[in-house]
């Protein structure tokens, strides 16, 4: 097992996504934050829904990308506001981050 610790972030994409696939409405995305280009980061997109993914759903999506939460890690939530350039009024957005590590034999 490696001792390499990385960070995962989930965020609600209020206007949908274009990468890696286009979605027609709000959806949650999980990113594994790594060095290099953002376009190369592992990403998991849940089906279109504003519902926050459960802890179990987050664990399953991390595993599908070859990662798991680091020992004693928890999801830390913060909120901010959406950018003013969106086509809708400014609104509160939630984001969460947690320390993660590659699974044994994982894709990382």
The DSSP H or E segment spanning 58 is: helix 55-64
The model's pTM is: 0.76
pLDDT, mean of residues 71-79: 91
pLDDT value for 87: 67
- Please, what is the average pLDDT of the chain? 82
pLDDT value for 106: 47
Residues 53, 28: Cα–Cα separation, whole Å: 7
Number of H helices, E strands in the chain: 1, 6
Question: Given CA atoms 50, 46, 21, 74 in this order, what sign does their dihedral have?
Answer: positive
DSSP-derived 3-state class of residue 40: helix
pLDDT band at 18 (very low <50, low <70, confident <90, very high): low
């Amino acid at each position: 097992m490696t001792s390499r610790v990385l960070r995962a972030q989930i965020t609600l994409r209020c206007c949908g996504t274009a990468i890696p696939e286009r979605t027609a409405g709000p959806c949650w995305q999980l990113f594994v934050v790594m060095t290099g280009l953002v376009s190369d980061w592992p990403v998991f997109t849940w089906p279109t829904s504003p519902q926050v993914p459960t802890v179990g759903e987050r664990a399953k999506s991390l595993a599908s990308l070859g990662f798991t939460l680091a020992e004693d890690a928890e999801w830390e939530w913060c909120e901010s506001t959406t950018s003013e350039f969106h086509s809708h009024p400014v609104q509160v957005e939630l984001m969460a981050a947690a320390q993660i590590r590659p699974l044994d034999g994982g894709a990382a």
